[in-house]
Amino acid sequence: MTVPSPLSDWQLHCARRTLLGGGVIAYPTEAVWGLGCDPWDIQAVERILELKNRPMEKGMILVASSLDQIRFLLDPLPIGLQREAERHWPGPVTCLLPDVEQQIPEWVRGRHSAIAVRVSSHPVVRALCDAAGMPLVSTSCNPAGRQPARYSWQVRRYFGQQLDWLVPGALGGRRNPSRIIDIVSGQQLR
């Protein structure tokens, strides 16, 4: 069943053009505003790291609209680990998946051998990933050490004209960022 997009066709066109053109966007997620870009575009990822004053070594989350968008990360895993990750999605849970074949660039993965992935249930996030045709980098919209933005005016205050597009929409109503679970150990990290 296809869920109607909360964004207009024009907004989706702008998002796609911005993301595929190497741009950085801000957009609402389940709990806070996020910064996103094409994870395979090193210059776009470096811009996000610079905006946030975040070291590359820490790594970032990928967010997807469906299991199909991240199937390439799930398929190399044992079926038990695939099912463990899939049972959390779509929803506000980020799973650390072993990047067995190192398919995610180090500028997204950081110094880790696993990649943090979430299949979102937020309609704007899903629409953006669908429009781009890929999972996106997703990191909280704030400079390091500052509170994540919960309002679009905070996004503008933090980053002003440094962003290529601020996607309209509302947060998903959650009070806390997604839980992070290591699917190999079962440990909850956040």
| pLDDT reported for residue 114 | 95
| pLDDT reported for residue 167 | 96
Max CA pair span of the chain: 45
* Residue 105 amino acid letter: P
| pLDDT reported for residue 113 | 92
Bond from prior residue into 90 cis (ω within 30 degrees of 0): yes
Residue 105: Cβ-neighbour burial (10 angstroms; 0-12, 13-18, 19+): middle
| pLDDT reported for residue 23 | 98
Q: What is the pLDDT of residues 120-143, one digit of tens each?
A: 999 999 999 999 999 999 999 999
CA 112 – CA 126 distance, rounded (Å): 26
pLDDT band at 7 (very low <50, low <70, confident <90, very high): confident
| pLDDT reported for residue 3 | 55
Strands (E), the chain: 25-28, 33-36, 61-64, 93-98, 114-119, 136-140, 165-166, 179-182
Percent of the chain clearing pLDDT 90 (strictly above): 87
If you average pLDDT over every residue of the chain, what do you get? 93
Q: Where are the domains of the chain?
A: 9-182
pLDDT band at 190 (very low <50, low <70, confident <90, very high): low
Q: 9-182, which class in CATH?
A: alpha beta
| pLDDT reported for residue 31 | 92
| pLDDT reported for residue 155 | 97
8 Å CB contact between 110 and 31: no
pLDDT at 175 over 90: no
Q: What is the pLDDT of residues 73-116, one digit of tens each?
A: 999 999 999 999 999 999 999 999 999 899 999 999 999 999 99
| pLDDT reported for residue 1 | 46
Q: What is the pLDDT of residues 59-82, one digit of tens each?
A: 999 999 999 999 999 999 999 999
| pLDDT reported for residue 4 | 63
Block residue for tokens 């990360």: 73
pLDDT band at 2 (very low <50, low <70, confident <90, very high): low
| pLDDT reported for residue 119 | 97
